Structure 1
Amino acid sequence: MKFIQNPLYNHTKLFMLLSFAIAVLLAGILLRAKNNQEILDKIQQYDNTTEYESTTNETGSEPKKTRRKEYLYRLLTNTTRSLIQMEIKARRLEENMRRIKEKTADLLWKNKDKALWHILFKNISRHITIRHEFHQHASLKRIMLDSHHDQNHRNHKQSHCKLAKKLIKVILTGKIGPGYASPLEAFRNGPREQLLYVVCVQPDQTKQDYLATVDVDPKSPTYSQVIHRTYTGSVGDELHHSGWNVCSSCHNDPNLKRNLLILPALASSNVFVMDVGTDPRKPKLHKVIDGSEMRSFNCSFPHTAHCLASGEIMISTMGDKEENGKGDFVLIDSKSLKVTGTWTKGKLAQFGYDFWYQPYHDVMVASEWGTPKFFKNGFQPDDIPNSERYGTSINFYKWSTRELQQVIDLGPEGCAPLEIRFLHDPKASQGFVGCAVEANIFRFYKTAAGTWKVDKVIDIPSKKVSKDGVETELNGLMSDILLSLDDKYLYFSCWLHGDVRQYDISDPAHPKLTGQVHLGGKILDDLDLVEDRETKEQRKPVIIKGKRLQGGPQMLQLSLDGKRLYVSSSLYSPWDKQFYPKMAEQGGWIVKLDVDTVNGGMKLDENFLVDFGKEPNGPVLPHEMRYPGGDCTSDIWLAED
């Protein structure tokens, strides 16, 4: 090596620095091991003490109870102090190593020995990186605050101790729960997606719906292909949306695992539970929760599924057992997978559809579609002004009491408010809802008085079209919206107009259009454009890999880093057949848009196409898409305080 030709004092400096680095490294490892053992010894000592007391005195005298309470709080105090000390020592050690690294780097680079630099610090960083998990998990303070809600004092003490012990072991072992600690962690550190789970609906109702596994790894030989199909085992279900047994709201519980995908079916009210944990590339049907369980609680047409921090699964429902309009929510135990009841206490909303909860503000917000027994037969323009058939309101519930507290009527311009999203920041007090019929976006936000208000912030004008010489107005039919995990961009699709749009929402009250891509639509299907109030650009059919895209853009799914937007084409099979019969006959599709996350803008990837017209049992209609590890529409985060 070149450095051996340098003067001897350079060698001496280098070896002294290396020796010092190794000594600090060993000291840090021994110090951390000692602290870990001390804490574990305390836990074991407490376990032995409580076990001895429970076997020698079941009832226990009052003084002994007092001593046990005092011991518990001493344990919590000492544990907290030890954790803080460990954090301080770890940070000091990292700072010392950083300084050593800088000095040694300077010397090594002066001697131009890049190979030695790489080998040395690759190994040092591997062993010395002490990423304390303390900040990623609920603190003891949070455990104590949560415990105040437990009315049984004795149970409170027992659960308090169990949670404290769980927290300590999580910190020492480094194990974490499902999902990500925060939306920004998912955005910055989440892996690139390699699989898509896609809900596929059979337009031929004598055949089964299924969950398709799509390979989206560009390095794979089966890239952009369906590699597995998991069938429901029944017909006439109408799969629609999907959710998880657990998600990032349970991130602080290392005992939970995201391994079951929940698929509610609109028509049958069955809930299909898919095992995606055993083999993510080949999911298996784990269980079917029969629709009779849901209907026994006077609920039907299940839609959105979200996991709760309590370990339950909550699914919004749109109808009663007779398929009249009714906004409610059913709860499913994530372990037994049994429907345990409904969530709402007291007054119910007139209609249901989507929902999002934000415990930091003690609120859940839900949207509305309409009456299932009417919309399931297709779109009828005369139903729109009928307040008994289509909803126009968003509903705010008090999260802690499950009570409907405020209903805001958006009026005719807010007809059929469908997908609703809070900002991902768990402390944010605002969000957006997309209103389908008139293609408008409303922003909702919390006022200083603690109530909620709405403002229309995006209005997509209708287009004048003609068919057979008869002119009419064509609204966009905004069918899906989502927000990037950094809360910078809002995306939505207009199914009938045939475009996907991107808006910068850095100022949520004033969104700015930054990108737009056209992907089919009614104008290219069977209508002639008379007047476009936004642009004079002529539309052209979209052809990818020799296939013309029939239908329009519908469901959206964004990569964790915000750089790839996947778009599917099916809205709801009765409506697909009505508006886009050629798509129902030839099958739907998924395409990918590449996103400029810095300046805004989107571009169609002409080398990516998932063609669902070539499926083994005939053409199918792809709807919602999910990643195995969660995404920006499946996961909800909780604030740390």
Structure 2
Amino acid sequence: MSNPDPTFYRSPGDAVAAPPEHLAYVAAFDPKGAISDAMTVVDVDSTSSSCGQIVGWTDLPGLRDELHHFGWNACSSALCHDNHGHTDNHGHTGNHGHTGGLERRYLVVPGLRSSRIHILDTRPDPSSPRLVHTIEAAELAARAGYSRPHTVHCGPHGLYVSALGGADGADGPGGVALLDHDTFEVVGPWEQDRGPQYLAYDLWWHLAQGVAVTSEWGTPSMIEDGVNAELLLGRKYGHALHFWDLGSGKHLQTVDLGHDNQMVLEVRPAHDPRASHGFAGVVTNVTDLSASVWLWYRDGDGWAARKVITIPPEPADPADLPPVIRPFGAVPALVTDIDLSVDDRWLYVSCWGTGELKQFDVRDPFSPREVGSVRLGGITRRTPHPAAPDEPLAGGPQMVEISRDGRRVYLTNSLYSAWDDQFYPDGVGAWMARLDADVDAGGISPDVRFFPHGADFRGRRVHQIRLEAGDASSDSYCFA
């Protein structure tokens, strides 16, 4: 590839050393479907007079999309074409023969409820994304056999979109659709042999090793109305990791984390392409309401996983709890997002129920060490932000994104509309925060200058964040 996009980084070290981000793209949605969802643009340039303010806004044309996770059309993995000339299972080679034309330009934005996928062009003005293409639900269903698109990752020979549901009203199996880099057409399903995999959620990979990892939540009927107590106590939600051959889409191995560990959500592989480990978050254990983080790693010719972090629930007066957890007399941590810094040193764990973001030193991935914590919101605590000390916050640290240099950590507070309403029935509100991180000794603290919230988001809730020029959860690297 000649003259690649300068925001394609050959190694994690190059990404860390790159200039800091100036803008953040934040998905905003209306859970009632009365107004359109939107992509908001937030100034995150610490030297700017408008830092922490919304400086761009793009309304989408439909209703009830529920913007959730989204990603870039292309990223650092495109550079792997220089190393990996393999052909995928659909006959696509490398990155479609690009010789410098591919760039990190388009945001690929699924609607979790509508199954539409919106393509937003961030050029020529990055603060004013333009809707340039829409993949309708019918195309996703007809060509890939999926619905409810969730996670987007840019690979060296296509765009991978995980999906929770099947086509034509089928509840499953969920899986991964492959999109064309250039046209955004749906190429087809990525899996060629799914083995026992049925439930779906997240997807990422060890790119240099040609191994993909997927996790499990539930089918649309299992999740769309919130947590179903009967399914949860019956151990029916996802509790496994799946390992795949990335190039062929062939299932290689299932690693079951135990049926008591319900809802295996985010997967975060190490960024170092030489590493063979990663972390996965588990929402709750039905026997004791603890949340956990698991490490997967190479074990001979296969893969294994072990629990390396356990986060217990916090006792509470049942009168202070929403009905969904009142019988338990405790607030579960509810680990709903995790993120790993680009240098693979710091792991951040969102405890959405208790309203806490935890920071762990994971230089020894088998023995994480907690070194920092910030409280914001929480089911019972309602901890305010220091910028507005008289405003109790609902929701809690949920989506977490880390700058490439690891010095800034961004948070939003909404999880999923049905869960928001169950766990925060008096209203979850909308807020975004930024934390300053000590990348030498550890420790995190809120940036008191940065707190867009409430009316700033025009009646919408906010979910995932993507940083201009890349962030800790959007890129995979080809070289050490």
Q: TM-score, normalised by structure 1?
A: 0.67
Q: Separation in 1 of the partners of 2:385 and 2:5?
A: 45
2:174 alignment partner, SS class: strand
The within-5 A match list for 1:177-576 is 178-187=7-16, 189-251=17-79, 253-296=99-142, 297-310=144-157, 312-321=158-167, 322-348=169-195, 349-387=197-235, 389-438=236-285, 439-447=291-299, 449-468=300-319, 472-524=329-381, 541-545=384-388, 547-576=391-420
Q: Which moved more, 1:593-602 or 1:396-405?
A: 396-405
Q: How many matched pairs?
A: 447
Q: Separation in 1 of the partners of 2:419 and 2:358?
A: 22
Which residue does 1:634 correspond to in 2?
474
625, 633, 636: which is aligned to 2:465?
Answer: 625
1:413 Cα offset (Å): 4.5
Q: Separation in 2 of the partners of 1:223 and 1:356?
A: 32
* Higher RCO, 1 vs 2 (CA within 8 Å, ≥6 residues apart): 2
Which residue does 2:323 correspond to in 1?
none
Which residue does 1:608 correspond to in 2?
450
Q: 1:370 to 1:558 in 2, by over 3 A?
A: same
8 A Cα contact 1:258 1:277, kept in partner: no
Which residue does 1:78 correspond to in 2?
none
Q: Separation in 2 of the partners of 1:219 and 1:330?
A: 40
8 A Cα contact 1:263 1:272, kept in partner: yes
Letter in 2 for 1:452: W
Please state if 1:579 is matched with 2:423: yes
Q: Separation in 1 of the partners of 2:5 and 2:396?
A: 41
1:325 Cα offset (Å): 3.6
Q: Separation in 1 of the partners of 2:20 and 2:153?
A: 23
8 A Cα contact 1:442 1:456, kept in partner: yes
Q: 1:292 to 1:343 in 2, by over 3 A?
A: same
1:462 Cα offset (Å): 1.5
Q: 1:222 to 1:406 in 2, by over 3 A?
A: same
2:420 alignment partner, SS class: helix
8 A Cα contact 1:446 1:452, kept in partner: yes
Q: Separation in 2 of the partners of 1:175 and 1:341?
A: 27
**1:243-263 deviation per Cα after TM superposition (whole angstroms, max 9, x unaligned):** 111100013552211110000
Q: Separation in 2 of the partners of 1:323 and 1:544?
A: 47
8 A Cα contact 1:243 1:306, kept in partner: yes
Letter in 2 for 1:186: A
8 A Cα contact 2:4 2:103, kept in partner: no
**1:125-177 deviation per Cα after TM superposition (whole angstroms, max 9, x unaligned):** xxxxxxxxxxxxxxxxxxxxxxxxxxxxxxxxxxxxxxxxx6xxx4xxx6556
1:518 Cα offset (Å): 0.8
1:197 alignment partner, SS class: strand
Gaps of 5+ in 2: 83-98, 286-290, 321-326
Q: Separation in 1 of the partners of 2:154 and 2:280?
A: 21
Q: Separation in 2 of the partners of 1:591 and 1:614?
A: 13
Q: Separation in 2 of the partners of 1:191 and 1:267?
A: 36
Q: Separation in 1 of the partners of 2:46 and 2:256?
A: 46
8 A Cα contact 1:323 1:373, kept in partner: no
Letter in 2 for 1:466: D
Gaps of 5+ in 1: 1-165, 526-539
Which residue does 1:103 correspond to in 2?
none
8 A Cα contact 1:225 1:610, kept in partner: yes
Q: Which moved more, 1:461-470 or 1:500-509?
A: 461-470
Q: Percent identity?
A: 35
Q: Separation in 2 of the partners of 1:509 and 1:614?
A: 42
The within-5 A match list for 1:163-174 is 170=2
1:306 alignment partner, SS class: strand
8 A Cα contact 1:317 1:326, kept in partner: no
1:566 Cα offset (Å): 0.8
2:419 alignment partner, SS class: helix
1:484 Cα offset (Å): 0.8
1:323 Cα offset (Å): 4.9
Q: Separation in 2 of the partners of 1:548 and 1:462?
A: 21
8 A Cα contact 2:277 2:298, kept in partner: yes
Q: Separation in 1 of the partners of 2:260 and 2:440?
A: 32
8 A Cα contact 2:31 2:66, kept in partner: no
Letter in 1 for 2:279: F
Letter in 2 for 1:414: N
Letter in 1 for 2:204: W
Q: Separation in 1 of the partners of 2:207 and 2:23?
A: 31
Q: Separation in 1 of the partners of 2:215 and 2:328?
A: 32
2:418 alignment partner, SS class: helix
**1:379-424 deviation per Cα after TM superposition (whole angstroms, max 9, x unaligned):** 222221335x411000000123211110111114431110001100
Please state if 1:590 is matched with 2:441: no
CA-based RMSD: 1.8
1:265 Cα offset (Å): 1.0
8 A Cα contact 1:178 1:246, kept in partner: no
Q: 1:236 to 1:601 in 2, by over 3 A?
A: same
2:357 alignment partner, SS class: strand
Q: Separation in 1 of the partners of 2:247 and 2:122?
A: 32
Q: Separation in 1 of the partners of 2:425 and 2:370?
A: 31
1:457 alignment partner, SS class: strand
8 A Cα contact 2:4 2:102, kept in partner: no
1:517 Cα offset (Å): 0.8
Letter in 2 for 1:315: V
Q: Separation in 2 of the partners of 1:383 and 1:634?
A: 32
**1:328-352 deviation per Cα after TM superposition (whole angstroms, max 9, x unaligned):** 1111112111111010012351111
The structure having more radius of gyration, on CA atoms, is 1
8 A Cα contact 1:543 1:549, kept in partner: no
Q: TM-score, normalised by structure 2?
A: 0.89
1:378 Cα offset (Å): 1.2
1:548 alignment partner, SS class: coil
8 A Cα contact 1:499 1:517, kept in partner: yes
Q: Separation in 1 of the partners of 2:170 and 2:423?
A: 23
Q: 1:630 to 1:471 in 2, by over 3 A?
A: closer
Q: Separation in 2 of the partners of 1:279 and 1:176?
A: 17
Q: Separation in 1 of the partners of 2:242 and 2:130?
A: 36
